[in-house]
Amino acid sequence: MSQGIFVTGTDTGSGKTEVAVALLQGLGRSGLRAVGYKPVASGADPIDGILQNDDALALQRAGAPGVAYADLNPYCFSPAIAPHLAAREAGVDIDADRIVAHYRRLAGQADWVVVEGAGGWRVPLSDGFDMRALALALGVPVVLVVGLRLGCINHALLSEQSILDSGASLLGWIGSAVDPAMARPDDNIRSLRQVLAAPCLGILPRDRSEAAVDAVAARVQDAMRAQLESGL
């Protein structure tokens, strides 16, 4: 049976794509067929006659071969603006059923599907529909990426509370080193471990070493296995 996770972040630029790519690479090296899924993306250029987004392309490259771009990124918009504004400008209604259908198609050909959201947990996609609703429609556990920089503790706490309040299953959080100039990173990581209810699934350093990537991917697999065994 295919397994899936929804990767969200504390905000834009928190390192979601880097974490999703790392998970795909680590899962792949463990012998699993893992594919990426970017349901909605804004900020794209035409390639081979269709709009393609850099983050979605990174997921395609990191995942198992044989997945068409149109399948892993059903909604892609040219301007690099908020998705709901880009969709409105393009006259497109982002449809949850279509997103779920694409997910199921990918799940039918993979062991794992790593879904990457856009922006943070509450980013709107259309009137009454946001990233939170999208994750709930997919029905997969959530991994919160915490961009390690000034202000991350507050952002992480607010994001975690919103995820838990929504009823979604929060598998854990991953710290992503996005700011090389961050002061006292180790102290901040210790504080995050203390204040967040969800377990830490690992910290991805800026060098994204193979050992660090594989360790995080293994922890995610262990957390998923434990959740399935507990029946949650």
Q: Where are the beta strands (DSSP E) in the chain?
A: 3-9, 34-37, 40-42, 44-47, 50-53, 75-77, 112-120, 124-126, 129-130, 142-147, 170-176, 200-204
CATH topology of domain 3-230: Rossmann fold (3.40.50)
Flag whether pLDDT at 231 surpasses 70.
no
Task: Read off the pLDDT of each residue in 211-225 and give the average, rounded to a whole number.
Answer: 94
The confidence score (pLDDT) of residue 229 equals: 81
Residue-range domain boundaries for the chain:
3-230
Q: Which of 20, 22, 38, 152 is catalytic?
A: 38
The tens digit of pLDDT for each residue in 91-149 reads 999 999 999 999 999 999 999 999 999 999 999 999 889 999 999 999 999 999 999 99
Q: Is 16 a catalytic residue?
A: no
